[in-house]
Amino acid sequence: MMDMSWSQVSARRLERQGLTAPAKDATPADVVAAMCGAHAQVMSAAELSVGLRLDGVSRTGVREALWDERSLVKTHGPRGTVHLLPARDLPMWIGALSSLPSSYAAHAPGIRLTPAQTDQVVAAIREVLTGAALTIDELSDAVVAATGPWAGDLVMPAFQTMWPRWRQAMATAAHRGAFVFGPARGRKVTYTAPPAGFRPADGCVELVDAYLRAYGPATPEQFAKWIGAPVTWAAAAFAAAGPEQVLFEGVPAWVAAGDTEVPDEPPRGVRLLPYFDAYVVAGRPRELLYPGAAAARALNGGQAGNFPVLLVDGQVAGVWHQRRSGRRLAVTVETLRELTPAQLRELDEQVALAGQILEGEPRLTLGPITVGGHA
């Protein structure tokens, strides 16, 4: 049985993520497919995640792919969080995500929707968004009108206010293909129907294969944490996909069948990864990706992605933060180890690249980060 080292796996993941060198002949949809989705709760972070993996693509190019070409869609993806996904892969994603077991115990009994109420809300969202793009307030009025006053009860604590009961079904509705995000109306988010002709597919096997090609070797337990599912569901999906077992640092793990190729060279390079970048969120084991002091500084209660990170030779070696004022980008990088002169030059290049992608004028400062982790 093949035994892969951390160095080999790290180099393999960086190469497949477009982090060894930006792709020259790929599209934003190609890159997002290789990432298995780009986390987009912070949209500027998603734009940077995608842009730094492509040669010469700025945030404008990512936005054009999302809102003009519609080769990307914005919707609820793994773990119910907002992601950019390739439009061409949406049938696979919805097929897989809609098969996840529902968790009706997430809210207290007096708040939670029943399974029947969830079905009603999802059906209402699907109906009212057909041929329409609605803000959250417009969608709320339409859903309550289509279901009943119970859906509008203000029972869900959220951001120092209360949300109506029906909103706990938003991620479920997205996972069932009832909506995707639409273009902003001023500063307001809108929701709309999925692309024309969309039909869900049986996507579990395909998604396991894509995940393993991006982040393997991995285990069903790691896949379960990434997708936000019970381990029993993930194990069944793995079994159906028929992956190949290998050893990863001496521990059993799996890759897609026949996909045991690793690069000849070890991981090299300095990269600035934004909030919730896929490389760190999906990358495991954490103790190898976040060695030593990096775990205490850059993980938030064991959760990856809450801090933008400095990546050096495939491992987290610091945190960073950028503050925008007009076109000016103040970039502060806190390193956890001394960088060589060559690495400092590469850091300068990365800061300049971030400025190009975010269409700003960056200035680098080396020093401590005082901003806490993103919620």
Quick: pLDDT tens for 247-273: 999 999 999 999 999 999 999 999 999
pLDDT at 342: 98
**Single-letter amino acid code for the residue at 120:** Q
- CB atoms < 10 A from the CB of 352, how many? 14
- CB atoms < 10 A from the CB of 258, how many? 8
Pair 267, 5: CB distance under 8 Å: no
Q: Which residues lie across from 325 on neighbouring strands?
A: 328
pLDDT at 158: 85
Dihedral angle over CA of 173, 176, 177, 182, nearest 10: 20
Side-by-side strand order, sheet with 309-312: 270-273, 309-312, 315-325, 328-335, 361-366
**Chain Cα centroid distance, residue 116:** 30
pLDDT at 200: 85
Mean pLDDT, residues 182-207 taken together: 92
Q: Which residue in this structure is represented by tokens 């992601």?
A: 83
Residues contacting residue 264 through CB under 8 Å, at least 6 positions apart:
none
pLDDT at 85: 98
Of the pLDDT bands very low, low, confident and very high (cuts 50, 70, 90), residue 59 is very high
What does the alpha-carbon distance between residue 186 and residue 245 come to, in Å, rounded to a whole number? Answer: 50
pLDDT at 104: 58
Q: Which residue in this structure is represented by tokens 């290049």?
A: 349
pLDDT at 199: 85
pTM for this prediction: 0.95
What does the alpha-carbon distance between residue 170 and residue 174 come to, in Å, rounded to a whole number? Answer: 6
What does the alpha-carbon distance between residue 235 and residue 101 come to, in Å, rounded to a whole number? Answer: 13
pLDDT digits (tens, 9 = 90+) for 298-346: 999 889 999 999 999 999 999 999 999 999 999 999 999 999 999 999 9
Per-residue three-class SS string for the chain: CCEECHHHHHHHHHHHCCCCCCECCCCHHHHHHHHCCEECCCHHHHHHHHHCCECCCCHHHHHHHHHHCCCEEEEECHHHCEEEEEHHHHHHHHHHHCCCCCCCCCCCCCCCCCHHHHHHHHHHHHHHCCCCEEEHHHHHHHHHHHHCHHHHCEEEEECCEEEEHHHHHHHHHHHCCCCEEEEEECCEEEEECCCCCCCCCCCHHHHHHHHHHHHCCECHHHHHHHHCCCHHHHHHHHHHHCCEEEEECCEEEEECCCCCCCCCCCCCCEEEECCCCHHHHHCCCHHHHCCCHHHHHHCECCECCCCCEEEECCEEEEEEEEEEECCEEEEEEEECCCCCHHHHHHHHHHHHHHHHHHCCEEEEEECCCCCCCCC
Structural tokens at position 131? 């041929």
Q: Which residue in this structure is represented by tokens 């400062």?
A: 365
Q: Is the pLDDT of residue 371 over 80?
A: yes
Q: Which residues lie across from 134 on neighbouring strands?
A: 191
pLDDT digits (tens, 9 = 90+) for 137-161: 999 999 999 999 999 999 988 888 9
Of the pLDDT bands very low, low, confident and very high (cuts 50, 70, 90), residue 105 is low
What does the alpha-carbon distance between residue 305 and residue 46 come to, in Å, rounded to a whole number? Answer: 12
pLDDT at 353: 98
Q: Which residue in this structure is represented by tokens 């269409």?
A: 359
> What is the pLDDT of the chain when averaged over all its residues?
95
Structural tokens at position 271? 């990269």
pLDDT at 196: 82
What does the alpha-carbon distance between residue 39 and residue 305 come to, in Å, rounded to a whole number? Answer: 10
Pair 56, 23: CB distance under 8 Å: no
What does the alpha-carbon distance between residue 261 and residue 243 come to, in Å, rounded to a whole number? Answer: 14
Q: Is the pLDDT of residue 120 over 70?
A: yes
What does the alpha-carbon distance between residue 15 and residue 272 come to, in Å, rounded to a whole number? Answer: 16
pLDDT at 108: 81
